Each structure stands twice: as structure tokens, then as C-alpha cells.
A = this chain, B = another copy of it.
Amino acid sequence: MQVATTIEEIRQCVSQARAAGRKVGLVPTMGALHVGHVSLMEAAAARCECVVVSLFVNPTQFGPNEDFDNYPKPFEADVAICERHGVEAVFAPSAAEMYPRENLTWVNVERITEPLCGRSRPIHFRGVTTVCTKLFNIVRPDVAVFGQKDAQQAIVIRRMAADLNMPLEIVVSPTVRESDGLAVSSRNRYLDPQQRRDATALYRSLETCRESIRRGATNVAEIRGQMLDILHAVPGLEVEYVSFVDGESLADLERIQGRVLIAVAARLGPARLIDNILVDTTTL
């Protein structure tokens, strides 16, 4: 496995794979890899002979009061995980390699970046779409794999790729959960043992929602009320949003119909946690 730190190196490495006729799959990550990321690598490997993982904590997607400085960077462990899972190349550039001069060019996706996480993180998605565009242009993958855990990110990236005719396939891979349902996330390590137990409230609220819809509930206000009861029962948990939106346009819904994304964000101690489910009422 090659560990490339420069754009030149990773381009050379990937161009050899491409010249040999192998499909290239990219898993863009911020490192601090866990079983969720491993499932993305596996999704890439199922479609491509050459899997590239990028490890880059992208400064432009963090707001001024967010956790950029504290974001975990267990580089050696990350490289070992990639190696163990058949990754062909890791791309781990420095910030100076990715942004060698003042960045004047931004890829902006309008409207669908505004609700949900966009409300509390106004520059976040602009940073994500810009760095993903850069990574796509550097690696030129046939496939790029993202996690359903970051549902809005996946929807935004898909729309960006379609709008800009990017020559690659965007694959969105299911959320991986701990045995008690908590969505696996690099930010779970910010939680103390009590908070870690309490954090399952997000999953429990979503499962209650899924069950209500399965039993025929369609009134969003009612279902949201049940979810908030569960979330508010946890001392110290601050709900940021509990949103019911269309799974493509992210438009707010008052009734459950079509493909619905139910997404939750909450602060718990030092961590900001998100989780979501997609419910397709046409296949219930």
C-alpha cells in the first residue's frame, strides 16, 4: 500500500492503476477511521479493483467555533486500518498541499445546503463540496463512496456531481451502528461513559419514528412530538433539530409521503451528534 502525501504522488499511483484498466474507487475521509469507514472501503472494493482512501481534516469545512483543532488524527492507526482492508493507496496531504494559496474558488450548492446541518454550520457544505471537487479532480475516481450517516452531505454531493456532470458514480453506503444502535462516528470518542449510554436516544427516537410510520402515522407534528419526548428525557442533551424532509429536495414535510429523510442533530456534552433514517412510504 502506498501512502501519498503529495498530489503528484497520488496522481501517479492512480494513473498506473487506470492504465492497467482497473476501476478506481475513492473513499474521502477525515481519518479517525472506524468500522463505518471500513464499510465504505468494502463498498468501494465491491465496485473497483483499486481503492484509494483520502485522510484529510479539511479546514474549510469547519466553522470558527467547531472542533477543527481537536479533531482526532490517529494517523498510524488509520494507515494500518487501510492496509488491513486492501486499500491500494492512502492520500494524506497537508493543508498546504491542498490549499497552497488563498482559495478563491468555491463550489456552492444552493438551497439543499440551507436546512438541517446548514443552519448551524453555514460554511460547512461549501467546504465539503469544494474539497470533494478537489479530491475528485486529483484522484479522478470512477466511483466515490459516502456514508448515509451524513445524509445531507450525501444528498448535496450527489446533486453537485449531477449538476456539474462530474464523470463518476456517487455511492451512498448504509449507516453502521454499534450493538445498541448508536451510529458509529469519530465524534463518539468525545463522549464520557454516561454520555455514551445517553447518546442512544437519537437512535431510539428514530426507531420510534420508523415504528409509528409503519403503524400508519402520517402527521409529522405528532411523530416529532414522540421523538422529542425521548430526546428531552436525557439530561443535558440539547436538540438542534428533528427534521422531516423530502429525501431529494430536503423540503420540509408536514405529512409523511414519498421518500422521507428523518434527521436528528443534538449536542451532548462536548459532542455534536447526528443520525437519520430514510423511509420510503411507497415500499412500506
Prevailing SS type, chain A contact patch: mixed
Write out the residue numbers on chain B whose beta carbons fall within 8 Å of the beta carbon of A159. Answer: 104-105
Q: Do the beta carbons of B109 and A164 come within 8 Å of each other? A: no
Write out the residue numbers on chain B whose beta carbons fall within 8 Å of the beta carbon of A140. Answer: 167
Whole-angstrom distance between the Cβ of A130 and the nearest chain B Cβ: 8
**Is A138 engaged at the interface, CB distance under 8 Å to the other chain?**
yes
Q: How far is it, in angstroms, between the C-alpha of A109 and the C-alpha of B7 when the chains are bound?
A: 22
**Is A208 engaged at the interface, CB distance under 8 Å to the other chain?**
no
Q: How many copies does the complex hold?
A: 2
In the complex, chain A residues 95-133 whose Cβ is within 8 Å of any chain B Cβ:
101, 103-112, 129-130, 133
Whole-angstrom distance between the Cβ of A213 and the nearest chain B Cβ: 28
Q: Do the beta carbons of B105 and A165 come within 8 Å of each other? A: no
Whole-angstrom distance between the Cβ of A4 and the nearest chain B Cβ: 14
In the complex, chain A residues 160-185 whose Cβ is within 8 Å of any chain B Cβ:
160, 162-167
Q: Which 4 A-B pairs have the closest CB atoms?
A: A105-B163, A137-B165, A104-B110, A134-B165
Give 15 A-B contacts (CB < 8 Å), ordered by A residue.
A7-B165, A11-B167, A101-B163, A104-B109, A104-B111, A104-B163, A105-B107, A105-B163, A105-B164, A106-B107, A107-B108, A133-B164, A137-B164, A137-B166, A137-B167
